[in-house]
Amino acid sequence: MKLLLLPIVFLLFLSVPAFATDYHVSPLGTNNATQGNFSGVGAFRTIQYAINNVPAGNTINIESGNYIEPIIHVNKSMTLQGESRNGVVISPFAKDQWNGGAAAQYGIQIGASNVIIRNLTVNGRGNPSLNQSQNNFREGIKTSNYGFNHLTVEDTNVKNILRRGINIWSYNDHVASFDDTVSNNYIENVVSPYNQLSQGIYAVAMPSSNSTASNNIVNTSVNGIVLWYWMDANNQATITNNVLTNIGFAGTTGDSDWNAGIQFSSPNVDRKITVTNNYVSDVAGTFQVIGYRIYNADNQSIVNNNVANLVNSNYNLGMYIGGCAGTTVQDNSITVIGNGRGIFLGRGASGVPQPNIITGNDIVSSGSSSLRIPEGVGITTTNDMRLDLGFGETLYNVSNSVTNNVIHGFVDGILIYSNSSIGSSIGMSINHNSIYDNSGFNVRSNNASLVFDASDNWWGTNDLSLIQSKLSGNMTYEPYALNSRFTSMSDSPSGMFFVGTTQPLVMLFVVIGLGLFVFHKMREGNMDTQTMIGIALTVIIGLALVMTMGSIA
């Protein structure tokens, strides 16, 4: 019986999973094959030596200290875990070549799938022997140019970087990375005097499948979060709960590209992206900066984001939506200072376009005065290549539904700019918005041959002549809102009281009918005094309403 049990026990032993082992790196350690199993003096001395000698699938615990090493290459699946986010510092070994050094310097370079980087700092000015006024990491944490998957960078500080703070570059013959997470990182001072396209978080082909950039802070960078190029059409990327400040800061020089707080671009193909609950502030540059730039994303959600303090340049823009169809832009807040713009609805999608839904947004400007198109505009839509911010691609048909938004303080609230010589068309409906206090026009269209529906809006006044004077182009604007019953887009505008030219006549007929009824009953002598007085008061109030409504409609 015992002999029969031996094979079973042996098989059970083989089936027990191998558990990951923790190894250690410490400034007190020694680079020796017998080291690494204990902390302090029993640890490895350098991170690279530990990576080279630790089997894949294990964790390297890095004790607090300043690790000045040549580029750290992670070439196998493992976890690099810092003891303290601020206490473990990875610093450049030498000057980057942009600063007169011999070669590009990187903090950590990932060359494998299933790698986790957690709870440490990468500092391009962490080496006290180098010039402390210069950033000496070209990139903080980056991948090699291959499609590595299941990468996680979380709870790190990446600061004083020349080009890219965190770079998931997985482009290799369009082989994309997937299931990557960049979360809860603090990225600061990604700035180069030699290149205007520095990015806090940069991903090429990152969002192939369920990849996420969330809860990150990027402070002082020409670009905040950039997702670029190819990704699987059936999968999704998510950018959520990030804070980006001092984007496109005034220390940069002009560049031919657009710099953005959050940018998603996928030329010539429509891809899926969700951008929610992000906050972009202090967007200022000497050239052109956008809070959010979304290009070629169909049936997606851009919801509950914020752009605050969009200042300085006339070219600055709160949000660009181009090459999109069926995308919802909802409950966002955009605050513009000076001649910047709110939302630009650019290049459409191929085929019969599914309308983009622009709803529930607060778009506000102060100090707007420029008369140059399309500066100083709350919402712009166009089919004119000269005004669009795409890549020079074909301007397909444009279709947008603009509802339940608050737009005020601009030169023009909404601009519809059509180039009749272009084959693409513009479709636009403007309803249930509060559009007022714009110094030029509340809605302006340059093409009288196009008719737009701009009914059921509150124009900031009940005076019909004033309403008409603030509308330019061929549009239907009646019925219009008698007053605004809501102060923010979170309240339903369904309680708004709309007035058109026919309502006063209907009310007049009702009042006349009541008057004739009272007169008839008085002649018959079968109406008591109290009822007669009540009906008489109703008639008087009705006549007063008719007179008021007739004066505004």
Per-residue pLDDT of 75-107, as tens digits, reads: 999 999 999 999 999 999 999 988 777 789 999
In this predicted structure, the answer to whether residue 492 has a pLDDT above a threshold of 60 is: no
Amino acid at 536: A
Query: How many angstroms separate the CA atoms of 144 and 75, rounded?
Result: 10
Mean pLDDT of 281-304: 79
Pairing type for strands 199-204 and 157-169 reads: parallel
User: Can you tell me which residue has the tokens 């350098």?
Assistant: 46
Pairing of strands 498-499, 480-481: antiparallel
DSSP at 396: B
CB-side neighbour CA atoms (13 Å) of 492:
2
Contacts of 229 (CB under 8 A, 6+ apart): 171, 204, 205, 265, 266, 267
Phi first, then psi: give them for residue 551, nearest 5 degrees: -75, -20
DSSP letter string over 103-157? Answer: B--EEEEE-SSS-EEES-EEETT--TTS-TTS--EEEEEEE-SS---S-EEES-E
Comparing 109-113, 181-185, 389-393, the range with the smallest average pLDDT is 389-393
Q: What is the DSSP letter of 545?
A: H
- Is the bond leading into 374 cis (omega within 30 degrees of zero)? yes
Percent of the chain with pLDDT over 90: 44
pLDDT at 535: 67
Which 3 state secondary structure label does DSSP give 511? helix
The residue ranking higher by pLDDT, 163 or 149, is 163
**The tokens of 402 are what?**
């603009």
Buried-exposed string 103-141: b where 16+ CB fall within 10 A, e elsewhere: eebbbbbbebbbbbbbbbbbbbbbbeebeeebbbbbbbb
Separation of CA 261 from chain center: 7
Q: Which of 135-139, 425-429, 467-471, 494-498 has the lowest mean pLDDT?
A: 494-498
Query: In angstroms, rounded to a whole number, what is the distance separating the alpha carbons of residues 61 and 118?
Result: 10
- Report the pLDDT value the prediction gives residue 374, as an integer from 0 to 100: 77
pLDDT of residue 308: 86
Q: Among 107, 27, 124, 25, which Cα is nearest to 66's?
A: 27
Question: 172 CB contacts (<8 Å, ≥6 apart)?
Answer: 145, 146, 147
Number of other CB atoms surrounding residue 497 within 10 Å:
10
Q: What is the mean pLDDT of the chain?
A: 80
> Which comes out higher in pLDDT, residue 44 or 484?
44
pLDDT tens profile 505-521: 555 555 666 666 666 66
Q: What is the pLDDT of residues 22-49, one digit of tens each?
A: 999 999 999 999 999 999 999 999 999 9
Of residues 6 and 542, more confidently modeled: 542
Q: Pick the residue with more confidence: 217 or 133?
A: 217
CB-based contacts of 525, cutoff 8 Å, min separation 6: none
| Residues 504/551, Cβ–Cβ less than 8 Å | no
Tell me what the mean pLDDT of segment 445-466 comes to: 91
pLDDT-based confidence at residue 351 (cuts at 50, 70, 90): low
Per-residue pLDDT, averaged over 361-378, amounts to 86
pLDDT at residue 547, as a whole number: 52
**Residue 306: enclosing H or E segment and its boundaries?**
strand 306-312
